[in-house]
Amino acid sequence: MNAKRNSTGFLVKQRLFLKAYLITFIEKGRPYGTQMLQELKEQFKPFGFSPNHAEVYRALHELMKEGVIRPDKRKLREDTFQEVTIYFLRDSEKAQSIKQQALDEFIKSHALLEQAIEDLTDK
């Protein structure tokens, strides 16, 4: 009973949304997972979206599995054994493809929502 569920194409898939933003954060030099999580929460709090730790790291792990990014362990400070994981792009072409796919989904969802707002608004 592992039938793959077909997408209805309704609104944006959360994982794709997270992947696109994580790639963008890495491109902009913000490669720490906790930093990306915090930025997502701050940026989208006004819209009621607050991804949790597990969702963000699941998306990061999928990007690693897909060969889009790679992790690297670094010491937090030279005088400590504590390490942090930072992420780097491994395949820019795949990264751009994911971002384009997300953008296409965002545009379709935006149009759908605009139509719904128009239809449900008394004029």
Per-residue pLDDT tens digits for 45-78: 999 999 999 999 999 999 999 999 999 988 777 7
SS3 64: helix
Residue 114 scores a pLDDT above 80:
yes
* Lowest model confidence (mean pLDDT) among 12-16, 63-67, 95-99, 112-116: 12-16
Give burial (CB, 10 Å; 0-12/13-18/19+) of 115: exposed
Is 33:57 a contact under the CB 8 Å cutoff? yes
Task: Give pTM, 2 decimals.
Answer: 0.83
Predicted confidence band of residue 7 (pLDDT cuts 50, 70, 90): low
What is the chain's mean pLDDT, rounded?
88
Q: What share of the chain is helix, strand, coil (3-state, %, to 5)?
A: 60, 10, 30
How many Å is the Cα radius of gyration of the chain? 17
Rounded to whole angstroms, how far apart are CA atoms 3 and 69? 29
Residue 3 has pLDDT above 80, yes or no: no
